[in-house]
């Protein structure tokens, strides 16, 4: 499978640009779309795979490789765990981002790497030529350098790195089929923990965080703040080239579509907004209570692979009740948040 940060509908829109000045952007988007949009069957979340637990609890084991502009994996190893920084910003950003993701899950949730058994963290940078995406392929993180006109290099964004690696956490914890509402939940869970990776690394409270996914990706050419806004889905960008952010923030605006595996990148705005409302209601550091509830939900075994938003809402309420109690402010925040976005357990 390949879970990608840039939605296919954005790449498709860019690939149709016909202005001479944007020919490079259109070509880059077209090639990225053609090379990274597998069939629906190949995009289903991977089954659990065994990992070697010998390094559990001993810290991250990172390996960064360089594809050298080719679409070949894994590439040439350029930095290993404990190695000195290089002269390549993409290599060092990937290394630091993998470490920051490991740190959130280890420190906040007691998880030993993305599989909870000490799995090594591998990444490849400089994938493809002007490649407009980053993705988790079930085994490693892969980063393109962007086209330079719309997208910058994808290692710049810590929320993107956290997002993609969190697909691995879902894969090893509670696989959610990458289609329809379960696919949107898969994407949303990655946005939640991608945002938390960034907030934990910066020690930001709920009020201090920007709640944006991919805030560093767009060039100055784009009228937009990020790929997505968890705080206000549908407001991340409004641009002549990219169009308007299509994410809904409420079930009344749920998008029925066969594109994007049934709108997994679009409708994820609804559970994203729910998580933000829980975090905002509880305040402080989001990983302490809101994040703990979401983590308990995806690791608690209560979700079916085809879980709906209502199923997830019910599971988060159950997780809040189990950890904090039936009359807790945490449970009240969860129930009010889902109600606010129109999801009824």
For the chain, the distance separating the N- and C-terminal CA atoms, rounded to the nearest angstrom, is 30
Q: At what angle do helices 309-324 and 290-299 cross, to 10 degrees?
A: 110
Question: Is the same domain home to 300 and 239?
Answer: yes
Give the number of residues written for the chain. Answer: 345
Question: Which entry of 93, 164, 198, 330 is annotated as an active-site residue?
Answer: 164
Asked if residue 186 belongs to a domain, the reply is yes
Do 189 and 226 belong together in one domain? yes
Does 194 share its domain with 160?
no
Let me know if 330 is a catalytic residue.
no
CB atoms within 10 A of CB 41: 7
| Residues 52, 27: Cα–Cα separation, whole Å | 42
Q: Is there a single domain that holds both residue 153 and residue 203?
A: no
Domain end, chosen from 140, 173, 206, is at 173
Q: Mean pLDDT by 10-residue block, N- to C-terminus, for the chain (345 residues)?
A: 81 81 81 62 40 58 97 96 96 98 97 95 96 92 95 97 94 92 96 98 98 96 96 96 96 94 96 98 98 97 95 97 96 98 92
DSSP 8-state assignment for residue 107: H
- 153 lies in some domain: yes
- My answer on whether 195 and 71 are in the same domain is no
Q: Are residues 14 and 102 located together in one domain of the fold?
A: yes
One domain for residues 225 and 314: yes
Work out whether the CA dihedral 60, 113, 226, 294 comes out positive or negative: negative
Residue 31: what pLDDT? 84
Q: Which of 266, 300, 287 is nearest to 196 (CA)?
A: 287
* Residue 319: CATH number of its domain: 1.10.390.10
Model pLDDT, residue 174: 86
Q: Do 233 and 136 belong together in one domain?
A: no
- Say if CB 111 and CB 173 are below 8 A apart: no
- C-alpha 180/C-alpha 197 separation (Å) is 26
193 and 162 housed in the same domain: no
Among residues 135, 260, 227, which one has the least CA distance to residue 211? 227
State which residues form the domain around 292. Answer: 180-340
Residue 43 burial (CB count, 10 A): 18
pLDDT at 52: 44
Q: Is residue 345 situated within a structural domain?
A: no
Domain end, chosen from 173, 190, 224, is at 173
**Whether the predicted model's global pTM rises above the 0.85 cut:** yes
pLDDT of residue 57: 54
Among 94, 76, 74, 224, CA closest to 154: 94
pLDDT of residue 36: 59
Judge if 169 and 186 occupy the same domain. Answer: no
Are the CB atoms for 214 and 228 separated by under 8 Å?
A: yes
Q: Which of 173, 205, 228 finishes a domain?
A: 173
Q: Residue 96 belongs to a domain with what CATH number?
A: 3.10.170.10
Same domain as 166, residue 229 = no
Residues 164, 276, 225, 105: is their CA dihedral positive or negative? negative
Give rounded-to-5 percent helix, strand, coil for the chain: 45, 10, 45
Give how many domains the chain has, as a whole number. 2
Catalytic site residue 265? yes
């Amino acid at each position: 499978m390949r879970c990608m940060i840039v939605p296919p509908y954005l790449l498709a829109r860019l690939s149709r640009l016909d202005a001479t000045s944007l020919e490079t952007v259109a070509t880059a988007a077209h090639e990225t779309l053609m090379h990274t949009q597998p069939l629906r069957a190949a995009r289903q979340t991977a089954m659990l795979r065994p990992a070697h637990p010998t390094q559990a609890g001993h810290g991250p084991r990172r390996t960064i490789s360089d594809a050298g502009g080719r679409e070949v994996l894994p590439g040439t190893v350029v930095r290993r765990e404990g190695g000195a920084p290089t002269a390549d910003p993409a290599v060092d950003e990937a290394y630091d981002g993998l470490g920051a993701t490991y740190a959130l899950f280890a420190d906040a949730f007691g998880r030993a790497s993305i599989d909870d058994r000490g799995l090594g963290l591998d990444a490849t940078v400089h994938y493809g030529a002007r490649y407009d995406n980053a993705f988790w392929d079930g085994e490693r993180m892969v980063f393109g350098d962007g086209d330079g006109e719309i997208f910058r290099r994808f290692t710049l964004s810590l929320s993107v790195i956290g997002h993609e690696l969190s697909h691995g956490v879902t894969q090893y914890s509670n696989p959610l089929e990458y289609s329809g509402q379960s696919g949107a939940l898969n994407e949303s869970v990655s946005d939640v923990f991608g945002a938390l990776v960034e907030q934990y690394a910066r020690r930001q409270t709920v009020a201090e965080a920007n709640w944006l996914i991919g805030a560093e990706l767009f060039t100055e050419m784009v009228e937009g703040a990020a790929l997505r806004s968890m705080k206000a889905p549908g407001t991340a960008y409004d641009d002549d080239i990219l169009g308007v952010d299509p994410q809904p923030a409420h079930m009344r605006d749920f998008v029925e579509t066969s594109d994007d595996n049934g709108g997994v990148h679009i409708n994820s705005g609804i559970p994203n907004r729910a998580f933000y409302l829980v975090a905002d209601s509880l305040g402080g550091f989001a990983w302490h209570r809101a994040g703990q509830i979401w983590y308990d939900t995806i690791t608690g075994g209560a979700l079916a692979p085809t879980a709906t938003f209502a199923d997830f809402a019910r599971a988060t309420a159950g997780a809040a009740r189990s950890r904090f109690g039936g009359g807790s402010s945490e449970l009240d925040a969860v129930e009010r948040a889902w109600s606010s976005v129109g999801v009824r357990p």
